[in-house]
Amino acid sequence: MTPVGSVDDGTSVTRDGALPDVTYDVTVVGAGVVGCAVARELAARPGLRVALVDASNDVGDGTSKANTAILHTGFDAVPGSLEARLVREGSRLLAAYAADSGIPVEPVGALLVAWDEEQLDALPTLLAKAERNGYDAARIIGPEEVRSREPHLGPGALGALDVPGESVICPWMTVLAYATQAVRAGVDLHLNCRVNTVDAFDGDVRVLGTGRGALRTRWLVNAAGLHADAVDRLLGHDDFTVTPRRGQLIVFDKLARDLVRHILLPVPTALGKGVLVAPTVYGNVLLGPTAEDLDDKSATGSTAEGIATLREKGRAILPELLDEEVTAVYAGLRAATEHDDYRISADPGRRCVTVGGIRSTGLTASLAIAAYVTALLDDAGAGLPEAGDLPPVRMPNLGEAFPRPYQRADLIAADPAYGTVVCHCERVTRGEIRDALAATVPPGSLEGLRRRTRARGGRCQGFHCGAVVRELFERGAELGDR
């Protein structure tokens, strides 16, 4: 692990104060996984002035922080859709990018377990769909093989579709890697910067009214996730409405990790999608998500009913899981729209590209979406410079499948701070916390620090380390200087 660079390298991440008095060529609104991927792609165009702005105090603080963290193959997408294509391409791109950047990925594979005749009957159709999506490694397996590959499974599994290509990934490091690379290549990242208004063009420039004042830009990419419809209306479009679909999830303790080997996906039927059980790269086990259509885009809370439903379904899939301690409960909102596909379109007249309806596959597809959006900008006449090479980035490892700093004699010998464990449940060292605080894109809150290091994110939720981690966070920059 190479510590990420320091804030003094001329890069720009701002969280308060007026915005710089410059005119950006392109402004990306929304620093979720999609917006960060787009900014990174644009950063590879030398000479282009790019701003990435987000209403939140950190990157990846919306839906991108709260998903099921699966790097999909796209085997079950709607064949021929834009989503199917971008997921398929994105999956390959992100797997390669993750390997180069040190983002943890575990190719555990998925089993779609059939628990009744209806589900069993659906497997051949799913297999055919996978093949139509260009995925031909899937196959149907019988109950004995299911049982031998998942010995802790509850009784009643009739068979499964084996999809070996599905992986689990770290969603937080993915966003952070994109943002880091973008910022290092000169993108200005402005946080706490909600876009509230969009003025008419004055020449080829228009002014965005943000919570931090005026921002001048020639082109705009709307990657505002749940609020992409609202931003689109500011631009004068009315193409779609986002209906948040909540997914609640339960994270079980790491001591449960040995109970499950694959991502256990539900077989989608007429009765709904069901819930999955999946390992995480941090060594936990996830149970979820629910699917609840809401109208409140801020309803990221969990509910008693949601938790009870998940536990009931989880008990049938993996009975022993329910005896384990719960580390966290969270909810994410999918940006569902009235359309069945991604809504990505350019409007050359208004000089913008909208990236809407990136519902439940956006993490996987992010790099392909970015390439697609950039191509749309080019076609729309944005006159982007030729792409150059971005210097590679190496992110700190949060994954259990790869050596963590506390396990590395070489790192500790070079710097004893990597041997000073601060967060005991997650074994996060003082060295890692210091690096995160001094990184190119430092955290804006303790939650942001958790997503960068896992500090405070374990089974005790701060009983042991909460106060110390907060102390380190508050000393932030000072700590980084040393």
Partner 1 sequence: MVDVLVVGAGPAGLAAAAVLAALGAGEVEVLDREPRAGGTPRHCHHGGFGPLGLEGPGFAERWVRTAERSGAALRTGVTVTDWAGPLTLDTTSPHGLERITARAVVLATGARERPRAARLVPGTRPAGVLTTGELLRAVHVHRQHVGTRAVVVGAESVGFAALDALRLAGVDVAALVTEHPRHQTSPARALDARLRRGVPLLTGATVADILGRGRVSGVRLTHRDGRTAHVPCDTVVFTGDFVPEHELARRGGLLLDPGTKGPATDGAFRTDRRGVFAVGNLLHAVEPARAVAREGAAAGAAVRRYLAEGDWPSASASVPLRVAAPLAWIAPNLVTPDEPLPYGGRFALRTAEFVGRAPLVITQDGRTLHHARLPRPPVPNRPFHIGGDWAARVRADGGPVRIAFG
Ligand X SMILES: Cc1cc2nc3c(=O)[nH]c(=O)nc-3n(C[C@H](O)[C@H](O)[C@H](O)COP(=O)(O)OP(=O)(O)OC[C@H]3O[C@@H](n4cnc5c(N)ncnc54)[C@H](O)[C@@H]3O)c2cc1C
Q: Torsion angle, CA of 352/353/358/364, rounded to 10 degrees?
A: -130
Q: Work out whether strand 263-266 and strand 206-210 pair parallel, antiparallel, or are unpaired.
A: unpaired
Nearest to 93 by CA among 161, 40, 49, 172: 40
User: Of the listed pieces 76-84, 112-120, 212-220, 328-336, which binds ligand X according to CB under 6 A?
Assistant: 328-336
Q: Which residues contact 413 (CB under 8 A, 6 or more apart)?
A: none
Q: What is the DSSP letter of 53?
A: E
The answer to the question of residue 61 lying near ligand X (CB under 6 A) is yes
Which one, 1 or 393, has the nearer CB to partner 1? Answer: 1
How many chain residues touch ligand X (CB under 6 A)? Answer: 40
The answer to the question of residue 394 lying near partner 1 (CB under 8 A) is no
For the chain, state the CA radius of gyration: 22
The answer to the question of residue 327 lying near partner 1 (CB under 8 A) is yes
Which one, 214 or 467, has the nearer CB to partner 1? Answer: 467
The answer to the question of residue 194 lying near ligand X (CB under 6 A) is yes
Which one, 51 or 393, has the nearer CB to ligand X? Answer: 51
Which one, 261 or 427, has the nearer CB to ligand X? Answer: 427
The answer to the question of residue 361 lying near ligand X (CB under 6 A) is yes
- We find the least distance from the C-beta atom of residue 172 to ligand X, in angstroms, to be 11
Which one, 325 or 340, has the nearer CB to partner 1? Answer: 325
The answer to the question of residue 30 lying near ligand X (CB under 6 A) is yes
- Position among 314, 332, 448, 458 found at the interface with ligand X (CB under 6 A): 332
How many chain residues touch partner 1 (CB under 8 A)? Answer: 43
Q: Work out whether strand 167-169 and strand 70-71 pair parallel, antiparallel, or are unpaired.
A: antiparallel
* Cross-strand partners of 441: none
The answer to the question of residue 41 lying near ligand X (CB under 6 A) is no
Which one, 402 or 406, has the nearer CB to partner 1? Answer: 406
- Position among 298, 349, 386, 391 found at the interface with partner 1 (CB under 8 A): 298
Q: Which amino acid is at 175?
A: V
What do you get for the CA distance between the two ends of the chain, in Å? 19
Lookup: tokens for 299: 């309803």
The answer to the question of residue 276 lying near ligand X (CB under 6 A) is no
- We find the least distance from the C-beta atom of residue 449 to partner 1, in angstroms, to be 12
Lookup: tokens for 196: 């509230």
The answer to the question of residue 480 lying near ligand X (CB under 6 A) is no
Q: Torsion angle, CA of 43/45/46/50, rounded to 10 degrees?
A: -50
- Position among 25, 54, 83, 324 found at the interface with ligand X (CB under 6 A): 54
The answer to the question of residue 211 lying near partner 1 (CB under 8 A) is no
The residue ranges of DSSP E strands in 6-154, in sequence order, are 13-14, 23-29, 50-53, 70-71, 105-106, 110-114, 139-141
The residue ranges of DSSP E strands in 109-259, in sequence order, are 110-114, 139-141, 159-163, 167-169, 188-190, 195-198, 206-210, 213-222, 243-252
- We find the least distance from the C-beta atom of residue 482 to partner 1, in angstroms, to be 15
Active site residues: 72
- We find the least distance from the C-beta atom of residue 58 to partner 1, in angstroms, to be 12
Q: Residue 70: name its binding partner from ligand X, partner 1, none (Cβ under 5 to 8 Å by kind).
A: ligand X
Residue with the two structure tokens 């919306």? 62
Q: Residue 301: name its binding partner from partner 1, ligand X, none (Cβ under 5 to 8 Å by kind).
A: partner 1
Q: Work out whether strand 352-356 and strand 285-288 pair parallel, antiparallel, or are unpaired.
A: unpaired
Binding mask 215-244 for ligand X (x = CB under 6 A): --------xxxxx---x-------------
Which residues in 395-454 contact partner 1 (CB under 8 A)? 406-407, 409, 412-413, 416-417, 419-421, 424-425, 427, 445-447
DSSP characters for 442-473? --SSHHHHHHHH-TT-STTTTTTTHHHHHHHH
* Cross-strand partners of 27: 51, 220
Does residue 287 contact residue 314 with C-beta atoms inside 8 Å?
yes
Q: Is the peptide bond before 3 cis (omega within 30 degrees of 0)?
A: no
- Position among 64, 180, 302, 374 found at the interface with ligand X (CB under 6 A): 64
Task: Using the Cα atoms of residue 267, residue 73, residue 135 and residue 149 in order, give the sign of their dihedral.
Answer: negative
The answer to the question of residue 471 lying near partner 1 (CB under 8 A) is yes
The answer to the question of residue 247 lying near ligand X (CB under 6 A) is yes
- Would you tell me which residues interact with partner 1 (CB under 8 A)? 251, 255, 298, 300-304, 306-307, 325-330, 406-407, 409, 412-413, 416-417, 419-421, 424-425, 427, 445-447, 459-464, 466-468, 470-471
The residues that touch ligand X, with contacts defined as CB under 6 A, are 29-35, 53-56, 61-64, 67-70, 72, 194-195, 223-227, 231, 247, 289, 332-334, 358-364
